Amino acid sequence: MTLIWLVGRATGTVEFLRLYLIKMQQSQNPDLTEIRAFIALADSGSFTSAAQTIGRDAAIVSRRLKSLEARLGIRLVDRNTRRVALTAAGESYLAEVRPLLEALERADEHASELATGEPRGHLRVALPGSFSRTWLRPLIVEFLAAHPRVTISCETDNRFVDLIGERFDVAIRLGNLADSRLIARKVAVRRRLLCAAPRFLSDKTPILVPSDLANVACLCSTAHSDPYRWSFTAPDGEIVSVPVSGPLATDDAGLLVDAALAGLGVLRTTDWYVAAELERGSLRIVLPDWPAFDEGGVYVLTPASSGTTTASRAFSDWFASRLATPPWIAQGAPA
C-alpha cells in the first residue's frame, strides 16, 4: 500500500488523515521534514531558496530530498538544470502530497486554537482596491488589534482574483457571485444609484423617469459590459433599460466622479463610492424611486475545498458585524 494509493481513495477526508498517519507510523524512516523540504524546493526552484524557506542550509535540503527519493524509490527532481525542475513523478507527488501536508498543518492550528480559546494563524487576503482604500483599512487594523494571534498579508487590487489558483485564504468581493467552489457570505448590501451636481440639475428639465435621461448628458463607465445602456427596476418590479450618451466615457471611476462634481452630467455609480459627496450635498441622488439594476453585495469568500480555520471564521464574523450597518449608508447614501 502506497501513499499515492491512499490519497487516490480518500483525499480530503478525516479517514484519509487517520490512515495516512497509520501508514507513516508503519513506514520505514517516515519524516514530514522530508516532505516539507521537497515542497519548499518545488516552490522556490533552488536549494538555496528552499533552505531559507524552511530555516535550514542547502545541504540539509539536499539530504532530505535524497532520503525521500530513496524511501519512495523514485526520482522526484531533475538536477541537471541551473534551476531544479520536478520530474513527472515529482509533479504528481507534489500535487497529491501538498494538500495532505496543508491538512495536517491546519489540524495543528485547530488543536492550538482549542488550547488557547482564540483564533490564530496566518491569512492571505485579497481585497478590492478602491473599496478597501475607502472603507476597509480601519477595519483591518481593528481586526488585527483585536486578534493578536492572527497575522495577515493583503493584496489590494481591483482585478478579479482567483482564490484557489492563487492560494488565497479569504477575500472580500463586490458584486454578484457564481463560483460554486467558494464559500460566500454576504456581509453588506451594495447599491447602484444615479447622482449629479445640484447646479447641473437646476439647469435641466426635471429627470422624473429613466427615459428622461435621453435628453441629458450622462457619464458612462466603460468598466461595464454595456456602458451606454442603463437598466433600472421599475416600481412594479419590471426591468427597464434606456440608452444614454454624454461627454465622457472611461473606466476611471474617480474621473467620472470629478466630472459629475464639475456639473458635466449624470453619473451611475455605487453608493459606497460617493457617500461623502452625498453627505456634503455636492452630489444629489437622481431617480431615487428607480434603483439601478444589478445591485449585488459585499461578500467574504473562502475556498470551499480548504475548509475554514478559526482565523478565517473570525475574519468573516468581524466584517459581518462591522458592515451590518454599512458606514457608506450612514454617511448619506440611500438605505
181-226 per-position pLDDT tens digit? 778 888 888 888 999 999 999 877 789 999 999 889 999 999 888 8
Q: Flag whether the pTM goes above 0.75.
A: no
Closest C-alpha among 306, 312, 311 to residue 12: 306
Cα separation, 286 vs 266, in Å, equals: 8
How many angstroms separate the CA atoms of 142 and 199, rounded? 40
pLDDT digits (tens, 9 = 90+) for 52-105: 888 888 889 889 989 888 888 889 998 765 678 889 988 888 888 888 877 777
Q: What is the pLDDT of residue 130?
A: 85
Of 211 and 118, the one with more pLDDT: 211
Q: How far is CA 125 from the centre of its chain?
A: 6
The residue type at 206: P
> pLDDT confidence of 116, banded at 50, 70, 90?
low
Mean of the per-residue pLDDT values of the chain = 82
